[in-house]
Amino acid sequence: MAKLKNKHVVIGLGKTGLSCVRFLKRLGCDVAVIDTRSEPPGKEELAQDFADVKLHCGDLNQFDLTKASELVVSPGIAIQTPAIAKAIAAGVPCSGDVELFAKSVDAPVIAVTGSNGKSTVVSIIGKALEALGYNVCVAGNIGLPVLDALSSAIDVDVWVLELSSFQLETTHSLRAKIAVNLNVTEDHMDRYGSLDEYAMAKQRIFEGCDAAVYWLDDHRSKPVQGGRTQLPFGGDESAHGRFYVNTDRQPNQVMDGSRSVLSADDLHIRGAHNLLNVAACLTVLAEFCGGRYVDALDAIKAFPGLPHRCQWVADINGVAWINDSKGTNVGSTVAAVKGLDGSVNGNLYLIAGGEGKGADFSPLADALKDKVAEVVVFGRDAQQIQRAVSGVVAVEMVETMPQAVELLKSKAKAGDVVLFSPACASFDQFKNYEDRGYQFIAAVRG
* CB contact at 8 A, 355 and 423: no
The DSSP secondary-structure symbol of 83 reads H
Q: Lowest mean pLDDT: which of 116-120, 186-190, 282-286, 328-332?
A: 186-190
Catalytic center residues: 118, 141, 188
What is the gyration radius of the CA atoms in the chain, in angstroms? 22
Count of CB atoms situated within 10 Å of the CB of 80: 12
Q: Lowest mean pLDDT: which of 164-168, 271-275, 333-337, 366-370?
A: 271-275
For residue 420, give the nearest of 379, 388, 384, 375 by alpha carbon. 375
Gap between the Cα atoms of 60 and 83, Å rounded: 6
Residue 230 has phi, psi (to 5 degrees) of -110, 130
Cite the residue boundaries of each domain of the chain with CATH code 3.90.190.20: 311-445
Confidence of residue 446 (pLDDT cuts 50, 70, 90): very high
**pLDDT by residue (tens digit) across 388-443?**
999 999 999 999 999 999 999 999 999 999 999 999 999 999 999 999 999 999 99
What CATH class does 99-302 carry? Answer: alpha beta
Please say if the pLDDT value at position 8 is more than 90: yes
Gap between the Cα atoms of 285 and 98, Å rounded: 23
Amino acid at 307: P
**pLDDT by residue (tens digit) across 150-206?**
999 889 999 999 999 999 999 999 999 999 999 999 888 788 889 999 999 999 999
What was the pLDDT predicted at 2?
62
* CB contact at 8 A, 134 and 177: no
Confidence of residue 340 (pLDDT cuts 50, 70, 90): confident
Please say if the pLDDT value at position 329 is more than 80: yes
Does the CA dihedral 288-293-299-305 come out positive or negative? positive
What was the pLDDT predicted at 191?
87
Q: What share of the chain in percent tops pLDDT 90? A: 86
For residue 73, give the nearest of 22, 9, 23 by alpha carbon. 9
Cite the residue boundaries of each domain of the chain with CATH code 3.40.50.720: 8-95
What was the pLDDT predicted at 368?
97
Which is more confidently placed, 236 or 158? 158
What was the pLDDT predicted at 75?
92
Burial of 231 (0-12, 13-18, 19+ CB in 10 A): buried
Where in 61-153 does DSSP place strands (E)? 70-73, 94-95, 109-113, 136-140
For residue 12, give the nearest of 69, 64, 75 by alpha carbon. 75
Residue partners of 73: CB distance under 8 A and separation at least 6: 11, 12, 79, 84, 94, 95, 96, 170
* CB contact at 8 A, 248 and 264: no
**pLDDT by residue (tens digit) across 19-71?**
999 999 999 999 999 999 999 999 999 999 999 999 999 999 999 999 999 99
Please say if the pLDDT value at position 1 is more than 70: no
Confidence of residue 339 (pLDDT cuts 50, 70, 90): confident
Residue partners of 194: CB distance under 8 A and separation at least 6: none
Task: Specify the 3-state DSSP secondary structure of 160.
Answer: strand
pTM: 0.83
Please provide the CATH number assigned to the domain covering 311-445. Answer: 3.90.190.20
Cite the residue boundaries of each domain of the chain with CATH code 3.40.1190.10: 99-302
CATH architecture assignment, domain 8-95:
3-Layer(aba) Sandwich (3.40)
Please say if the pLDDT value at position 128 is more than 70: yes
Alpha helix ranges (H) inside 272-381? 272-289, 297-302, 330-340, 363-368
pLDDT average, residue stretch 371-379: 97
